Amino acid sequence: MTRSASVVGEQSGRRTLNRPPGEPGADSEHIGVSGAVMNDQSGRHGHQILLAEDDPAISDPLARALRREGYEVEVTGAGEPALAILSGGSFDLVVLDLGLPDVDGLEVCRRLRVDGNRVPVLVLTARADEVDTVVGLDAGADDYVTKPFRLAELLARVRALLRRGKPEGWSDGPAEEGAGVRIDAESRRAWLAGEELHLTAKEFDLLRVLVRETGRVVTRDQLMREVWETTWWSSTKTLDMHISWLRRKLGDDASDPKFITTVRGVGFRFERG
């Protein structure tokens, strides 16, 4: 296992940390030759992160990388201890593996939401099929990364979730409204026809951008930059999944939309109503 690696993957049946041969710029983006994080100081704010991952080949280098970004990291390898830690402390983010040995990561996430804990959850999963992705978001997760993943991508998603409260260019001004949807930025709450919507952190951020631009097309690139604070990695599947769940919570029909219209090849438009 090399400390200069930038991809967490699977090799010979065992998950390892490795760098794809010839990948340009893999080390220069975040990881130096000695494994030290380079060229990024944005995480140095003392945020508390709980990492729940049972494979030391993943948790050890990932915890080191997060700490070098300036985050305070606590690591556990099982679901029940993770729930106990979260009930007794204040965390800004949970990085949660779905395949924990005692309690499945999805159940951990569900219990957190049932208890009213809204801490952002970034799911790690080796299950690439869409069913698990949908179930993960339905359980209350805010974002996910599929193994194997680039370390730079995971760190970018961590930063985006931690910054979700006040994305760049947004102010905690008056409530915004569009097509019967009302959004309060300060309390991070949203209502449809007077009834409160129960949204994840990313769903709220996504809805706010769309409502802010009511009647105008918002490109996929803009949504990825504003909501996830990143550019496209391999696809915008994460964006599509969040749009799907947001439509469901709005009672919207993609084939005959009342709120969110897909503009093919460009992005999405929130209708004026």
| Cβ-based burial of 138 (10 A; exposed 0-12, middle 13-18, buried ≥19) | middle
Question: pLDDT per residue over 33-58, tens digit each?
Answer: 223 333 344 444 579 999 999 999 99
CATH number of 176-270: 1.10.10.10
Where are the domains positioned within the chain? 7-162, 176-270
Strand-strand pairing, 93-97 and 48-52: parallel
pLDDT for residue 4: 37
Strand-strand pairing, 189-192 and 217-219: unpaired
First to last CA, the chain: 56
Q: Do domains 7-162 and 176-270 have the same CATH topology?
A: no
How many of the other CB atoms lie within 10 Å of CB of 213?
18
Rounded to 5, what percent of the chain is helix, strand, coil?
35, 25, 45
| Cβ-based burial of 17 (10 A; exposed 0-12, middle 13-18, buried ≥19) | buried
Q: How far apart are CA 169 and CA 142, in angstroms?
A: 21
Q: How far apart are CA 154 and CA 63, in angstroms?
A: 12
Domain 7-162 has CATH 3.40.50.2300: yes
Q: How far apart are CA 266 and CA 233, in angstroms?
A: 17
pLDDT for residue 135: 60
pLDDT for residue 21: 36
Query: If we measure between CA atoms, which residue out of 115, 171, 117, 123 comes closest to residue 145?
Result: 123
Q: Which residues contact 5 (CB under 8 A, 6 or more apart)?
A: 17, 18, 19, 31, 61, 151
Residues lower than pLDDT 50 in the chain: 1-5, 10-44, 131, 165-174, 234
Encode 3-12: b = buried (16+ Cβ within 10 Å), e = exposed: eebbbbbeee
